[in-house]
Structure 1
């Protein structure tokens, strides 16, 4: 089964006064976590701040773009993993380990 594991920034970037919120120690812990998981990590990446987003809607045949995020919120996805794990129980355990490694809340979602 594949899972989307979202890293949630709930103020760390703003508190640090920069776009990325991870400290060097947190980034090192995430690198070690990724190495330990090996091939279970299909893809991992950080995501820029919501202010860098552009919403694109071309459903009407005309492309409309709006700068900024689709939803303004105090919490947002700051990074993610796509992981290939055997089952939901394992995914919950790994998500808890990810939360410790990156020092952030984690949102876990099965990929359909």
Structure 2
């Protein structure tokens, strides 16, 4: 079964600079984690900050485009892994190993398999 591991953290922890030491260290930790996952890792990526987000919202059947995610949260979606695991317990065991800088969460969501 496939699972998405959605990584939520306060992106302010890393600062504004792409080359901040904390961010570079976290990227290195994620590269090592991804290598350690081996064949269980189907895909994944880090995401740019919420300032670069664009949202397509549907209200009353009308679609509008907005800058930003428009979510009032203390944590932002910063990246994800797509993994294959035999069951939820195995996926949770992997999620517990996802590197986080400080406080944060890893949401584990099973994928709905779509016909080919």
| Same fold by TM-score greater than 0.5 | yes
Q: Is 2:31 aligned against 1:31?
A: yes
Number of aligned positions between the proteins: 108
Indicate conservation of the 8 Å contact 2:8/2:75, yes or no: yes
TM-score relative to the length of structure 2: 0.77
Distance of 1:61 and 1:9 partners within structure 2: 32
Task: Report the aligned-residue RMSD.
Answer: 2.4
Contact 2:6-2:106 at 8 Å conserved across structures: yes
Which residue of structure 1 lines up, in the alignment, with residue 43 of structure 2? 43
CA contact (8 A) 2:9 2:100 kept: no
Take 1:111 and 1:105, find their aligned partners in 2: how far apart are those partners?
19
Structure 1 unaligned blocks of 5 or more: none
**Structure 1 position 89, deviation (Å):** 0.8
Matching of residue 74 in structure 1 with residue 89 in structure 2? no
* Uncovered stretches (5+) of structure 2, i.e. residues with no partner: none
1:42 & 1:86 partners in 2: Cα distance?
Answer: 14
- Find the counterpart in structure 1 of residue 110 from structure 2: 110
Q: CA, structure 1 residues 53+33, in 2 after alignment: closer, same or farther (shift >3 Å)?
A: same
* 19 and 107 in structure 1: CA distance in 2 versus 1, 3 angstrom threshold: farther
Equivalences for residues 78-89 of structure 1 within 5 A: 78-89=78-89
